[in-house]
A = this chain, B = another copy of it.
Amino acid sequence: MATGMELYLIRHGLAGEHGTYANDDERPLTAEGKQKTRQVAKRLVEFDLHFDWMLTSPLVRARQTAEILLEAGLAPQLEESVYLADGNLDGWLFWLKSWEPGSSRCLALVGHEPSLSEWAESLAFGRAIGSFQLKKAGIIGLYLPDQVAPVGRSTVFWLTPPRFLLSK
């Protein structure tokens, strides 16, 4: 198993219905979506997770989700990435090559479906066929290898919907 980098793919929380905003990029989280995302963030803190860096799609519902994770103390700061809005895996992989986070390498990406689950499938299996289900505020965890290109060579160690995170 390659353990070069831990990558957490996090889908934005529950947002308003598609079509309720003239500009869909502006569609925000609902009150319920914010609350559940806060609960998920709290749980991740309880698991001692800490991201060295966090990238988010600039779209409002993703940006709000990332800000909730940031406020929970899960990452030192937040950077926007257009690749997470348009689902451009090759673009993000190019960014990743130049990323210099120091010795510790644990990265979180906040974005959208179907891109995130497709990225996970491509990283783990070399192609995306729609076999991963990633719910809103759900998470996929992957180990990416260090010395080789990660597509088709990464390992999935976590995939969870929020319902298997939150306490009753």
Contacts and interface: CB of A to CB of B under 8 A. Distances in A.
A164 B135 CA distance: 17
A168 B48 CA distance: 10
Interface in A115-129: 121, 124-125, 129
A81 interface: no
Contacts of A99: none
Interface in A51-105: none
Given A125-B131, A158-B159, A159-B160, 16 more contacts: A47-B164, A124-B132, A125-B129, A130-B155, A131-B154, A131-B155, A132-B155, A132-B156, A133-B155, A135-B157, A156-B159, A157-B161, A158-B160, A158-B164, A160-B160, A167-B167
Interface of A: 1, 46-47, 121, 124-125, 129-133, 135, 143, 154-161, 163-165, 167-168
